[in-house]
Amino acid sequence: MKNEYIYTQSESTTPDRIDLSFGTAVAFSDKSPDKESANEDCAALFELDNDTAVFLIADGLGSLPNADAASKLAIKAIQNSIKDVSDNDSLREAILNGFEKANQQIQDNTPGSATTLVAIEYHKQTIRPYHVGDSMILVTGQRGKIKLQSVPHSPVGYAIEAGMLDENEAVHHKERHIVSNVVGSADMRIEIGSTITLSPFDTLVISSDGLFDNLYVDEIVELVRKGNLENASAQLLQQAKARMLSPQKNMPSHADDLSFILFRPKK
């Protein structure tokens, strides 16, 4: 493996820029502003070679014990599974094996805990998404066209997909944070998406629900679709934290741990 970046607690108030051979990323992870306990999120970027990488977000379920340990264990399981991958054809299998190992290890070592897990396989400007739970994946073009948006594994997420709830109703729904599919469950299901080739100005966003619970999707798209990626990430962070700390009527607001990775390929 060429480079490894893991974020479990931010040491600064701004996202970290990561310069890759094939593009630029920014990453951030920090605990909720209203709590003293550990951050239950974990973000990671593993650069395997000059054109291959894996992006990860895990969000330990705060309603369960050892949630911070579960998210870190999930990231570590993927890291160990992909570290010796020598070609892109075997990367998909390694990622899936990592999910399965994480699921079993959480059940064995931290029983009763669970985490969400998002993984993005990147190779030569092509991505493939994998996810379990309600952490989010979004790809937007420079003009704001959404090219990929994952469906949260939750009753509210499925209701949005079925057209039974709109985004505004969903973000205020009292059962929004019920997750129906998690890593750490005997019946975990891994959702694998189709491959998507990123255009030079596309932006990939993966995040825990600390972002999407405080900003509407169109707000996120508008902030990240163009301009400097570091400035975009700083504005995302600022606005999400502001909503957490100072709720506004009829606007999304939920204090929570916040982790995200933004990525753009080289032009």
What is the distance between the alpha carbons of residues 48 and 118, in angstroms, rounded to a whole number? 18
pLDDT in tens, 56-66: 999 999 878 89
pLDDT in tens, 242-264: 999 988 888 888 889 999 999 99
| Angular region, 125: left φ>0, alpha ψ -120 to 50, beta rest | left
Mean pLDDT of the chain: 92
Q: Using the predicted structure, report yes or no on whether residue 3 has a pLDDT greater than 90.
A: yes
Residue 200 has a CB neighbour count (10 Å cut-off) of 11
pLDDT in tens, 179-232: 999 999 999 999 999 999 999 999 999 999 999 999 999 999 999 999 999 999
Q: Where do the structural domains in the chain lie, given as residue ranges?
A: 3-265
pTM given for the model: 0.94
Tokens 């596309």: give the residue: 202
Q: Using the predicted structure, report yes or no on whether residue 172 has a pLDDT greater than 70.
A: no
Amino acid letter, 66: N
What is the distance between the alpha carbons of residues 58 and 30, in angstroms, rounded to a whole number? 12
pLDDT in tens, 79-107: 999 998 877 779 999 999 999 999 999 99
What is the distance between the alpha carbons of residues 242 and 256, in angstroms, rounded to a whole number? 12
What average pLDDT score do residues 68-78 get? Answer: 97
What is the distance between the alpha carbons of residues 43 and 208, in angstroms, rounded to a whole number? 9
Two structure tokens written together for 66:
């050892």
The pLDDT score that the predictor gives to residue 11 is 65
What average pLDDT score do residues 139-144 get? Answer: 96
Residue 249 has a CB neighbour count (10 Å cut-off) of 5
Best CA proximity match to 42, nearest among 111, 102, 129: 102
Domain 3-265 class? alpha beta
Between the two ends of the chain, the Cα-to-Cα distance in Å is: 24
pLDDT class for 12, splitting at 50, 70, 90? Answer: low
